[in-house]
Amino acid sequence: MKKLNIGMVGYGFMGRTHSNAFLKVANFFDLPYQPVLKALCARNAERAKAFAANWGYASVETDWRKLVVSPDIDLIDIASPNDTHMEIAVAAAKAGKMVMCEKPLGRNAAESEQMVQAVEEAGVLNSVWYNYRRVPAVTLAKHLVDDGRLGRIFHYRAKFLQDWTISSDLPQGGEGLWRLDVNVAGSGVTGDLLAHCIDTAMWLNGPIDEVSAMTETFIKSRKHNLTGKVEPVGIDDASAFLGRFRNGALATFEATRYARGHKALYTLEINGENASIMWDLHDLHRLQYFDHRDEGVLRGWRSIHISDRDHPYMSAWWVPGLQIGYEHTFIHQAADFLRAAGDGKSAAPSFREALQTDYVTDAVLQSAANRNWVKVGP
């Protein structure tokens, strides 16, 4: 098994999920590559050292510009805040490294286009961590849709509901809070949460052609942790849109951080002529399935406990009935990336695929600003 040396940028929430994925994946999956945690890169040297020690990184770097040109490194994995994605990805691609990037790709489609151009010109393998595609239940949904089980699709609806920013005492910006700083994040829930919903939706149901959107910032100003001053909030706290898929299905999407009682309730539902599917992240190990072709008096929503060996990814894990959790979605993506790399291919979603999501989020923000329907696209 060849080794694949990983240079990780970032030690936050996503630095942890990615590190765990690469550390664990080979214990559970047969792979052409053995990932090696070679170097951890972050600005704060002390915290970087502690993180590297905890996860077993062989070395620490504080300047990503050095990391991306290091001959020891095969793959640059970008887990740092959104405002760093473009520069690092472009430089890594130019240095001929494989590049994985936490979602969203750039802060907007313009940045993302540069990233796509860079990896394609360099011809390097690339992928974006839209990890929810690899929830086994969601992957099974994809199989069902692709098999034509649902028939003509009429409706696709998705929501991503959280409640962690309701308090007006919460500051914006700085360590752990950059998702509230529009300059760093690019947008609020549109890029953070809605992007997940959109990526899964287009994977399952094809392109979205047009949207009419509404956004809201409920708390207009917050103390900024970097300046120490109360400043206007630039992000969207809530974002919703109506839209149309190319296949004629209607789209209803919503994301918010102001839905009291929901921590990370990403839900999706697809209604087809013959069958329907529902899934939610709070019980990610279940898929709800309704098939109208079932015998009349026995039709009902089936709650499928996705823990059998023939469910996607599940033969790698435990025995039927025993559930996996959130972190496994990253392990699955690492496995798929490494397998595809063995064949010289990029695992989906590539940068180019992920760019399509940014076109939708850009259209959502533009529609909300201009109060009109907006066509999605470059």
Site for its own copies in 228-287 (CB under 8 A): 238, 240-242, 244, 248, 250, 252, 254, 256, 258-265, 271-276, 281-287
- The phi, psi pair for 45, rounded to 5°, reads -60, -40
Residues 40/73, Cβ–Cβ less than 8 Å: no
Number of residues that bind its own copies (CB under 8 A): 91
Asked if 66 touches its own copies (CB under 8 A), the answer is no
Report the nearest approach of its own copies to the CB of residue 253 (Å): 9
SS3 275: strand
Question: Judged by CB, which is closer to its own copies: 91, or 334?
Answer: 334
Report the nearest approach of its own copies to the CB of residue 97 (Å): 25
Give the one residue of 65, 230, 294, 377 binding its own copies; rule: CB under 8 A: 294
Report the nearest approach of its own copies to the CB of residue 318 (Å): 6
Instruction: Identify which range of 11-19, 59-67, 75-83, 346-354 contacts its own copies by CB under 8 A.
Output: 11-19
Looking up tokens 């990805």 gives 89
Instruction: Identify which range of 18-26, 184-192, 222-230, 343-351 contacts its own copies by CB under 8 A.
Output: 18-26
Asked if 216 touches its own copies (CB under 8 A), the answer is yes
Report the nearest approach of its own copies to the CB of residue 376 (Å): 15
Q: Mind giving me the DSSP string for 334-374?
A: HHHHHHHHHTT-PPSSPHHHHHHHHHHHHHHHHHHHHTS-E
Instruction: Identify which range of 57-65, 107-115, 296-304, 338-346 contacts its own copies by CB under 8 A.
Output: 296-304
Binding to its own copies (CB under 8 A): which residues in 21-50?
Answer: 23-24, 26-27
Asked if 200 touches its own copies (CB under 8 A), the answer is no
Asked if 65 touches its own copies (CB under 8 A), the answer is no
Report the nearest approach of its own copies to the CB of residue 333 (Å): 15
Q: Mind giving me the DSSP string for 10-60?
A: --SHHHHHHHHHHHHHHHHS--SEEEEEEEEE-S-HHHHHHHHHHHT-SEE
SS3 148: coil
Question: Judged by CB, which is closer to its own copies: 350, or 361?
Answer: 361
| Amino acid sitting at position 215 | T
Site string for its own copies, 137-166 (x = CB under 8 A): ---x---------x---xx-x---xxxx-x
Asked if 316 touches its own copies (CB under 8 A), the answer is no
Distances in Å between the Cα of 82 and the Cα atoms of 4, 16, 86, 169, 330 are 25, 16, 8, 24, 19
Q: Mind giving me the DSSP string for 90-147?
A: HHHHHTT-EEEEESSSSSSHHHHHHHHHHHHHHT--EEEE-GGGGSHHHHHHHHHHHT
Question: Judged by CB, which is closer to its own copies: 214, or 348?
Answer: 214
Asked if 328 touches its own copies (CB under 8 A), the answer is yes
Report the nearest approach of its own copies to the CB of residue 357 (Å): 20
Binding to its own copies (CB under 8 A): which residues in 343-372?
Answer: 371-372
Question: Judged by CB, which is closer to its own copies: 183, or 303?
Answer: 303
Residues 40/60, Cβ–Cβ less than 8 Å: yes
Binding to its own copies (CB under 8 A): which residues in 167-196?
Answer: none
Report the nearest approach of its own copies to the CB of residue 9 (Å): 19
Angle of helix 328-342 versus helix 13-28 axis, rounded to 10: 60
Q: In what order do the strands lie in the sheet with 286-291?
A: 286-291, 275-280, 265-272, 153-161, 250-256, 238-245, 208-216, 374-375
